[in-house]
A and B are shown apart, each in its own frame.
Chain A
Amino acid sequence: MSERLMSEHSLLEITGLRVGFDTEEGRVQAVRDVSLRLERGEILALCGESGCGKSVTAMSIPRLLPPETTRLSGSIRLDGRELTDLPESALRAIRGKDVSMVFQEPMTSLNPSFTVGFQIAEVLRRHEGMSRTAARSRAVELLELVGIPAPARRVREYPHQLSGGMRQRVMIAIAVACSPRVLIADEPTTALDVTIQAGVLDVFRDLRDRLGTAIILITHDLGVVADVADRAVVMYAGRAVEEASVTELYARPRHPYTAGLMRALPSAAVTGEDGRRRLTEIPGLVPPPFEDPDECAFHPRCPRAREDCTATRPALEAFGTGHRAACFHPLSTAAGGDA
């Protein structure tokens, strides 16, 4: 009832999400309090250094984390419907249909024993009730859509016959097959070269324009963020530390961490040994995920840190419409300011 009255809820609302893992070394608190909203037809970028909890946040939505070790609390609402206490069976109807996901690991996310055609057709048969043959021909179309040459031949091939970039695009084809309402793409373009990357981003944009699909785009690549995203959330050590529209964020970053990321921008794309590009320009290390003292997690690396930064943890505060940052001593001027 009350939900009906409040009618204006976002497509996806995550409130106070906390995700920990029980490991042999103790509890790893990967996500420590994340709240975010995703509007219909919006492309939201999720940024931050490696290990800050982007993938864990994303995989919490369709609940794809290992159930035995995952400790999750908070609320995840899809169109007003709480997902965290849904039974598995109800969630299965949502996965791949309303919420679909492109994983960060393109090389291993496809099953080596089945053709890519089978693996695309599978999701169509599951959710769209398509026949085997109809799903097959739709699979060819989807491969074409994501820019795979000779799709009629490729559809019969196995993952090991495809390059990493092509596998990634097959994953994207699977994810967009049922026209999801929320598409979560975890580093979808890292394995791709620049032209193909542009094509994939076009597929996302087109999906959003035609069907109003909302997209959470996880990326290290601030160039990609500027290119396609409407809004961005910057995460640090399991928390959202800044959130704003992309133009606002680039023009007036408030959080010293965001500013640091921006400043690192031109040389930021360091290609790691796994071929993934990471932001590693800000000196210093991320705090270990085991403890969570009541202070600003960024203070050991922050050029603006003062005494009060270790006294308590800064909360997200508004800086104009839709712009929020969690910092006691935010930047006040243009990018790069006086830090």
Chain B
Amino acid sequence: MALFILRRLGAAVIVLFLGSVLVFLGVRALPGDPARVLAGQEASPEAIAAIRHDYGLDRPLPVQYAQWVGKALTGDFGRSTQDRLPVAHILTQRLPVTIELSVLAMIVAIGIGVTAGVVAATRRGRFADHVATGFGLVGLSVPHFWLGILGILLFSVRLHWLPASGYVPFTGDPGGNLERMLLPALVLGTGFAAVLMRQTRSAMLESLSADYVRTARAKGLPERSVVGVHALRNSLTTVVTVLGLQLGALISGAVVTEQIFVIPGFGKLTVDAVVTRNYPVIQAVVLVTVAGYIAVNLLVDLAYGVLNPRVRLTGVADG
């Protein structure tokens, strides 16, 4: 297991390095000269040159990269061009909001998706299966923004159950925080719940027809352990895979959801930064997102190891 983790960590470092190079070059490949944007329309060539020197933009790219990475490693991402605040400070404010939204959405997705998938598989072809499958189709085809607007109209405008938008920090007012996050989490989680339900359902159908499930029945085990222990355990790999694959969609879904509900998270920060061409922020946001993506994928890989003894013992899937 230690070797397995070590291997995955090594791979993660390499991916992160490549990712940072890509981000660095990508931002520089964007049209427009950041120094000119910073100096303003009317700036003299001397002023632009001074800024360029200030930001180190006159040095060779490898040197710039090394400096940027060196600072980033110490947590220094420079300052926002909008409000001159340290980017790192902005990140520490925005990141937890998005993480909370994503985690809540995941809980919603796993709770609804896996449960519905298991129920649908065990009652295949019956009423509960049709309901769950119908939910899956609807959940997949409805876009986040539409669901979000619908949710606001129903729960906030008509029923007055939940606030329509806004954000209060969890630490300040946990109740108020959850109250405001519930609808966004539901909106963001529904699509994933639908994907998870479909995948869980088909994985469970396969597990349930496996010989080892017949063995479990032959032992006289109650149906709840036949389904919930023997079949489900072998379907969890699928669940974890789906979660890993849906990560990108989760991030983009979070961006949209934060816009709709005016939640000051990472997504909103990114959109605002792109609109105002806030390069240091874009760079940092993308880098942190890549790092987060890698970290979650690492967790997914570790989960594989925990779930699948074959992976854990040999370090390779299907070995």
Using an 8 Å CB-CB cutoff, how does the interface string of A100-114 with B read, 1 for contact, 0 for none? Answer: 110101001111111
CB–CB A111/B220 < 8 A: no
Of A64, A109, A113, the residue contacting B309 (CB under 8 A) is A113
Q: A113-B234, A158-B310, A160-B309 are in contact. Are A108 and B218 (CB under 8 A)?
A: no
Q: Chain B: which residue is nearest A62 at the CB level?
A: B218
Interface residues of B in 255-313 (CB under 8 A from A): 307-310, 313
Closest chain A CB from B307 CB (angstroms): 7
Residues of A contacting B219 in the complex (Cβ-Cβ under 8 angstroms): 95-96, 100, 122-123, 126, 174
Q: Name the residue of chain A whose CB is nearest to the CB of B307.
A: A113
A81 interfacial contact with B, CB 8 Å: no
Whole-angstrom distance from the CB of B203 to the nearest CB of chain A? Answer: 13
B interface, size bucket? 20 to 34
| Residue B55 CB within 8 A of the other chain | no
- Quick one: which of B214, B222, B223, B313 has the most chain A CB within 10 A? B214
Residue in B closest to A107 when the chains form the complex, CB atoms: B211
Question: Cβ of B215 and Cβ of A174 under 8 Å apart?
Answer: yes
Bound CA span A66–B205, Å: 13
A93 CB within 8 Å of chain B: yes
Contact B220 A126 (CB under 8 A): yes
Known: A95-B219, A123-B219. A111 touches B233 (CB 8 A): yes
Q: Decide if B308 touches A113 in the complex (CB within 8 Å).
A: yes
A96-B308 contact, Cβ under 8 Å, with A108-B210, A111-B212: no
Q: Given contacts A113-B309, A122-B219, A160-B309, is CB(A64)–CB(B233) below 8 Å?
A: no
Q: Is the CB of B220 within 8 A of A110?
A: no
A77 cross-chain contacts in B, Cβ below 8 A: none
- Complex Cα gap A111–B236 (Å): 14
Task: Kindly state whether residue B52 has any CB partner on chain A within 8 Å.
Answer: no
> Any chain A CB within 8 A of the CB of B230?
yes
Query: Which residue from chain A places its CB closest to the CB of B211 in the assembled complex?
Result: A108
Looking at the assembled complex, report how far the CB atom of B109 sits from the nearest CB atom of chain A, in whole angstroms: 23
- A95 near B220 with CB under 8 A, answer yes
Residue contact A158 to B220, C-beta cutoff 8 Å: no
Per-residue contact bits, chain A 79-105, to B (CB 8 Å; 1 contact, 0 not): 000000000100011111100110101
A334 CA / B100 CA spacing, docked (Å): 83
Q: How far is the CA of A226 from the CA of B295 in the complex (A)?
A: 63
Determine if B221 is an interface residue (Cβ-Cβ < 8 Å): yes
Set of chain B residues within 8 Å of A12, measured between Cβ atoms: none
| Complexed CA–CA distance, A298 and B222 (Å) | 43
Measured between C-beta atoms, what is the minimum distance from B266 to chain A in Å? 36
Query: What separation, in Å, do the CA atoms of A288 and B299 have in the docked complex?
Result: 53
**Which of B215, B221, B308, B310 is within 8 Å of A92, CB to CB?**
B221
A101 neighbours in B (Cβ, 8 Å):
218
Contact B220 A96 (CB under 8 A): yes
Q: Is the CB of A111 within 8 A of B216?
A: yes
Q: Report if A171 contacts B (CB, 8 A).
A: yes
For the complex, is B217 an interface residue (Cβ under 8 Å from A)? Answer: yes
Q: Are A64 and B234 in contact (CB under 8 A)?
A: no
Q: How many A residues are at the interface, by size bracket?
A: 20 to 34
- Measured between beta carbons, the chain B residues less than 8 angstroms from A111 are 212, 215-216, 230, 233-234
| A161 interface contact, C-beta 8 A | yes
Residues of A within 8 A of B217 (CB): 64, 95
Question: Which positions 214-259 of chain B face chain A at CB distance < 8 Å?
Answer: 214-223, 225, 230, 233-234
Q: Which residues of chain A are within 8 angstroms of B309 by Cβ–Cβ distance?
A: 112-113, 158, 160
Give, as a whole number of angstroms, the nearest-CB distance from A332 to chain B. 43
- A105-B211 Cα distance, complex, nearest whole Å: 8
Q: Which B residues are in CB contact (< 8 Å) with A110?
A: 212, 215
CA–CA, A161 to B220, complex, Å? 26
Q: Are A109 and B221 in contact, with the CB atoms below 8 A?
A: no
Tell which of B214, B233, B313 touches A109, judged by Cβ atoms closer than 8 Å.
B214
CA A103 – CA B307 in complex, angstroms? 26
What residues of A have a CB within 8 angstroms of the CB of B234 in the complex? 111-113
A114 to B234, CA, bound (A): 10
Most buried by A among B211, B220, B223, B234: B220
Task: Name the A residues within 8 Å of B214 (CB-CB).
Answer: 64, 103, 109
Which residues of chain A are near B221, meaning CB under 8 Å? 92, 96, 122-123, 126
Query: Inside 8 A of B218's CB, which chain A residues have their CB?
Result: 62, 64, 95-96, 100-101, 103
Most buried by A among B215, B217, B223: B215
- For residue A96, which residues in chain B have a CB less than 8 angstroms away from its CB? 218-221
Give Cα A174 to B212, complex, Å: 12
A333 to B117, alpha carbons, bound, how many Å? 63
Q: How far, in whole Å, are A171 and B214 apart by their CA atoms in the complex?
A: 12
Q: How far is the CA of A111 from the CA of B226 in the complex (A)?
A: 11
Q: In whole angstroms, what is the CA distance A103 to B223 when docked? A: 20
Q: B220, A103: Cβ atoms under 8 Å?
A: no
**A278 contacts B by Cβ under 8 Å:** no
Contact between chains at B215 and A103 (CB < 8 Å): yes
In the complex, chain A residues whose CB is within 8 Å of the CB of B307: 113
- Whether A127 sits at the interface, judged by CB under 8 Å, is yes
Q: A93-B220, A96-B220, A122-B221 are in contact. Are A113 and B233 (CB under 8 A)?
A: yes
Please measure, in the bound complex, the distance between the C-alpha atom of A194 and the C-alpha atom of B307, giving whole angstroms: 36
* Closest Cβ–Cβ distance, residue B39 to chain A (whole Å): 62
Closest Cβ–Cβ distance, residue A4 to chain B (whole Å): 28
| Chain A residue at minimum C-beta to C-beta distance from B312 | A158
Q: Is the CB of A112 within 8 A of B220?
A: no
Assess the A109–B211 pair: CB atoms within 8 A: yes
Minimum C-beta distance from B231 to chain A (A):
9
Given A158-B309, A160-B309, CB of A109 within 8 Å of CB of B212: yes
What are 18 A-B pairs with beta-carbon distances under 8 A?
A66-B209, A92-B221, A94-B220, A95-B217, A95-B220, A96-B221, A97-B220, A110-B215, A111-B233, A112-B212, A113-B308, A122-B219, A126-B219, A126-B221, A127-B220, A161-B313, A174-B215, A174-B219
**4 interchain residue pairs of minimum CB distance:** A95-B220, A96-B220, A96-B219, A111-B212
Partner-B contacts on A (CB < 8 A): 62, 64, 66, 88, 92-97, 100-101, 103, 105, 108-114, 119, 122-123, 126-127, 158, 160-161, 171, 174
